Amino acid sequence: MNEVVTNTEHDLSQKLLIIFDWDGTLMDSIGLIVKAMHVAAEAHGFSTTDEAVKSIIGLSLMRGIELLYPQASAEQHLAIQQSYADYYIHASTLPNQPHSEFFEGIEAMFKQLLAQGKKLAVATGKKRAGLDRVMDYANSRHYFVSSRCANESGSKPSPQMLLDILQETGYAVADAVFIGDSIHDIQMANALGMTSIAVNYGAASAQVLAAEHPTYQVSTPSQLIELLTAG
């Protein structure tokens, strides 16, 4: 899908609070996530496919591991989680490895949205320690007025993260838009009737995302930037 799918009932120029997913939406980290999961699983005698790993991105890490390896014990789930975290942190500093960087133009978009008087927030399946680490790595913490993580508000598609952000910032559902790259993101927004933007360049395909009926759908970071900053 190469065109922006729009809905005239949801005017983005009127949205005051822009809430983003992190991995695959703002940051080009899908390759690192997939690699880390393969390394972690294989260390404990399990295997999976790239597509299966992508399908659980957006969930809390433990929930994703439970879905990927239902045959594993609780102790093995914990061991895979620890191996994943160890590899992810270590690989982030290595050359010739998939890394986590903002997609092109994203940081400039933050600045433009702030100049327009918008408030920015993050709702992510990461744990707080992981989000804090990548925010510090990208020197981006100052862009956001609020953030919620899976270990604070529960895993997507529960809308609790969005509810917490709305309560903290004082905005209503109608004032906000949520942007994400997974079906869990769009399901979370839909649970509240919140305007949503699905991005096709992250974890899930355009067809899979379209089936969740996002309000808008874009194929590239540049389309997202144009959509959010227009007007």
pLDDT for the residue numbered 96: 56
Are 22 and 125 contained in the same domain?
A: yes
Domain region containing 34: 30-93
Q: What is the mean pLDDT of each run of 10 residues along the chain (231 residues)?
A: 48 94 91 91 94 88 93 96 89 63 93 97 92 89 96 91 97 97 95 96 92 96 94 57
Are 16 and 128 contained in the same domain?
A: yes
**Domain CATH for 34:** 1.10.150
Residue 81 lies inside a defined structural domain of this protein: yes
pLDDT for the residue numbered 98: 52
Number of domains the chain is built from: 2
What is the value of pTM for the model shown? 0.85
C-alpha span between 98 and 31 (Å, rounded): 6
